[in-house]
Each structure stands twice: as C-alpha cells, then as structure tokens.
Chains A and B, each alone.
Chain A
C-alpha cells in the first residue's frame, strides 16, 4: 500500500527554497515593520512566525514519507472540521450525529491510504450524505432540520472531502510515460495557492481601487485579483517544469484556475464569517486566525487541481 521513500531532488530543492524564502520574508518583515504602525508589525511578525511552524511541520512530514503526510493532512481536516463545527450553530439534538461526521475523517483518509479512488470519490458525497441525513432524522428534532443537515454536509465537503484531495495527490497513479511525484504535486498546489493569497493582498494594497465583493470582503479588489492572477500564472510557469508533468499551456491554465478558485474559497469563508458575525474562525494560528482562515483558499482549489491533473495525466 505505501512505501517510505526519500523525496525526489525536485521536492528536496523546493523545501530548501521554501526555507530560504522564509528567511527572506522574515528579513523583509523586519525592514517593512520599522516603517509601519505597531499593530501591523505585530501581525506581520506573528504571521511570519506561524509560517515558520507550518513550513517546518510540512518539511518534517514530507521527509517522514507518504503515510506520515496523509495522517498529517487527515489531522488538519479534523481540526478544520472541529473549528467549523465549533463556530456554527449546532442543536443539542445534533450532538451525537456530529460524531458520525467526525468518523468520516478517518474513513475518508483510509481510502486515500489504500489509493481506492472509487470510494475516495464517493464516500462523502454518497455514504456520508445518507448516514448523516439518517442520523439527523433519528435525532428526532424537526425544528432547524434543514439548517443542520445543510451546515453539516457543507462543512464535511469543505474540510474533509475537498482537503483530502491534497492527500490523494500522493497516491495518484499516472498514465504510462508520465513521470510525476506526488509530493511535488502537493507542494506545487500549496505554494501556488498560498502565494496567490499573498500576491492578491500585496497588489491589492498597492493598486487596489475597484472592490469585487464589498459586502463580503472589502479588501478584495479587481486590481489585486488580476495582477495577483498574472503573478501566479508566471509563478506556475516557473515552478511547473520542476514539480509537475504540465507543459507550458497547462501550467498557465492551472495557474489561472488556482488564482480564481483560491479567491472564491477565500471569499466564501469570509461570507461564512460575516454571516456568523465572527472576525476569524479561531485564534489558534497567531497572525492568521484559525485553521480555516489559513485553509480557506485551498478548500476549493485542492479538488480542482487534483482533477485537472488526473484528467490530463492520471491513469
């Protein structure tokens, strides 16, 4: 099922590049920090420190192999689901049904571990859908039923089903003649999507004028989105030859897709927070907020990237 292996040179170099990038980012934050107000400086510094932790943990699990990485992503799914369910309205009658929702996490990732694509693809949309609906019916409370069933399944799709596509990249069989490394694909999508957040933020700060969705996320502007997207297409063209089997056309297209889906995921979670009257989903990651505040842009990008890769290069 799984074998431990040393990461390929491309993955090794990418990890080294990430560490160097963080060193550069930390220096840049120190320099910029001198010229900004206290609050911004603290936030930037906390944010960078948290990035060090994220990159350190990611490097560690990648070095530890596929199984460790799958377990790590499963844990992140679980924490994201827990954060989601903590923030959302849950009726007392639903308490026990939530255990079923949590149970979906290990099951989904076991299908990943066994590279069982069929079950991986349908378990949450079909089986979890049925069991959760049945569980909520058995709970016997009709007031708020639709809201509960909707909240629960949307959260499960977002935090477990969608994020588990990151893990399946590691075990995705490729077509004959296509050489691709799962870790490299994982790093590619993580870097592109996170860089997109940063690029849209920076371009938006510099030139942002026309708001896209002022009611949901006032910081998001067309200028940030378009210049950020162009930056990401460029980054994708640079990284794709090292980390993916994509040719230049595919690299450009997936860059554009991820820039757009990253944006949509980000504003979708912003809409959730606005709806709940929350600023952040949590305060677990200093400078970022909760797990979902960091993962928001990945929630929609992960399955899109996975299916793009599988459609064109998968066995």
Chain B
C-alpha cells in the first residue's frame, strides 16, 4: 500500500466506516488491549458475516490500520468490480488462490505478509458452503502456525454480527455486537494436526464470556 493508499484507507475508516459502525452496529469490545500493537501476528476469529472483517479492522487505529491484512479468497474478492476495488484499496486483503494449488503455495502470500511484520486476519472456519476447501484452509492455517512458532496468535470472538447481517441477507438490521479479544496464544509446541481443534475451542471459550439471553433458542439459528 502506497502512502496515498494508506491515507485513503485511514480516511474511509475514520469518516465512513467507523461512524456507520457506531450508528448501525455499536461494538462492545472487551479486552481490547490484548490485540497486537505490532506485527507480525495472526488474528483468528469466528466468521459469520461480511461485516466481520470490517469490524476487526476497525479495532486498529491510526498507523496500525495499514498493517492489518485480512486473508480472503481470490476467486471471490479479487475479480474485477467494485467489491474487488474495495477489498484491495480499503480492506487491503491478501488474495488467497483457492483454485487447487495446494495449501503450501496458496498461503505463501500470508507467509510473506507475516515476514513483513503485518497482522494477518484468518478465519479458521474458512468460507461456508464449500466444506472440502474449508478443510484444506484449516490445515493450511495449522501448518502456518506451527511453521512460525514465534508469531503470536490472537483469538477473537464476535457475537451478533451474524444477526445484523447474516450470510445471504442483503439488508442490515441494527444490533449491538460484542467483540471479545483473547490473550495471545502459544501454539508453537503443538502438533499441527491439533491446532485447528484447539483454536476452535479457545474461540468457543471466549464466546462463553458474553451474557446470552434467550435468543440462542431453537427458533433462532446460532450466530456464532
């Protein structure tokens, strides 16, 4: 990202995204201090909504914002058009090629970003609807984490965004959303095949910290 690009990104976050998030969502963030103040770091979060990435990025302000890089599927977010432009210019995504090149090759851009000291956002659940690719994505993340034991892994749990804008819905309905940041995890010594389960468990534990009313009842599908 060039200098002009960084200012554009900061401006859009400061004057468009943050005010809109404040008005339409309203984030209730806990343990904000656990977020990495500098890279390299891996942020892992649960994934329910298109808002997830914007929300996670909005937790970083000023200079730090430009170093935050969400990993996203190249075939979805990097095809020509407005979505792609926003993904690249504002969200500053790392495009991941899912066309079957293998996890090792596909995650090379993430490795490079961490090498440059950036904060990478990963969703261990992968994308929904494509279970076989989801599995590979997960394994890829585990490989990456065990390969780079010195990079802190910070778990984040988001609740309520799947209610405000669930997948497959175009209309956003305002709700407050909770974001719970976990303390950085040491996963370096763990065998790669245990990492995905461990991550999922840790994120699930964070989820238990929030007070939940009735809305997790059967009539309402769980939203993360």
Minimum C-beta distance from B159 to chain A (A): 10
Q: Is there a chain B Cβ closer than 8 Å to A95's Cβ?
A: yes
Chain A residue with Cβ nearest B211: A278
| Contact (Cβ within 8 A) B213 A87 | yes
A81-116 contacts to B (CB < 8 Å): 82-83, 85-92, 95-96, 98-99, 102
| Contact (Cβ within 8 A) A88 B215 | yes
Across the interface, B173 reaches (CB within 8 A) one of A95, A144, A279, namely A95
Q: Is there a chain B Cβ closer than 8 Å to A202's Cβ?
A: no
Chain A residues with CB under 8 Å of B176's CB are: 82-83, 86, 282, 284
| Contact (Cβ within 8 A) A279 B211 | yes
Q: Is there a chain B Cβ closer than 8 Å to A4's Cβ?
A: no
Minimum C-beta distance from B153 to chain A (A): 26
Minimum C-beta distance from A143 to chain B (A): 6
Chain B residues with CB under 8 Å of A57's CB are: none
CA of A276 to CA of B213, assembled, Å: 5
| Contact (Cβ within 8 A) A277 B213 | yes
Q: Is there a chain B Cβ closer than 8 Å to A195's Cβ?
A: no
Chain B residues with CB under 8 Å of A82's CB are: 26, 174-176
Q: Is there a chain A Cβ closer than 8 Å to B112's Cβ?
A: no
In this complex, the interface size class of chain B, counting residues with CB under 8 Å from chain A, is 20 to 34
| Contact (Cβ within 8 A) A89 B214 | yes
**Given known contacts A79-B26, A283-B28, is B173 in contact with A88 (CB within 8 Å)?**
no
Across the interface, A91 reaches (CB within 8 A) one of B160, B171, B219, namely B219
Q: Is there a chain A Cβ closer than 8 Å to B163's Cβ?
A: yes
Minimum C-beta distance from A285 to chain B (A): 11
| Contact (Cβ within 8 A) A86 B175 | yes
Chain B residues with CB under 8 Å of A86's CB are: 160, 175-176
CA of A96 to CA of B174, assembled, Å: 10
| Contact (Cβ within 8 A) B171 A96 | yes
Chain A residues with CB under 8 Å of B175's CB are: 82, 85-86
CA of A101 to CA of B220, assembled, Å: 19
Chain A residues with CB under 8 Å of B63's CB are: none
A129-180 contacts to B (CB < 8 Å): 143-144
**Given known contacts A89-B213, A89-B215, is B28 in contact with A284 (CB within 8 Å)?**
yes
Minimum C-beta distance from B51 to chain A (A): 14
CA of A85 to CA of B220, assembled, Å: 14
| Contact (Cβ within 8 A) A144 B219 | yes
Chain A residue with Cβ nearest B223: A92
CA of A69 to CA of B78, assembled, Å: 46
A-B contact pairs, 7 of them (CB 8 A): A86-B176, A89-B219, A91-B220, A92-B166, A95-B173, A282-B28, A282-B176
12 additional contacts (CB under 8 A) given A96-B171, A277-B213, A284-B28:
A82-B176, A86-B175, A88-B214, A89-B215, A90-B220, A95-B169, A99-B173, A143-B219, A277-B211, A278-B211, A282-B28, A282-B176
8 residue pairs, one from A and one from B, having the closest CB atoms: A89-B214, A276-B213, A86-B176, A89-B215, A86-B175, A91-B219, A278-B211, A95-B173
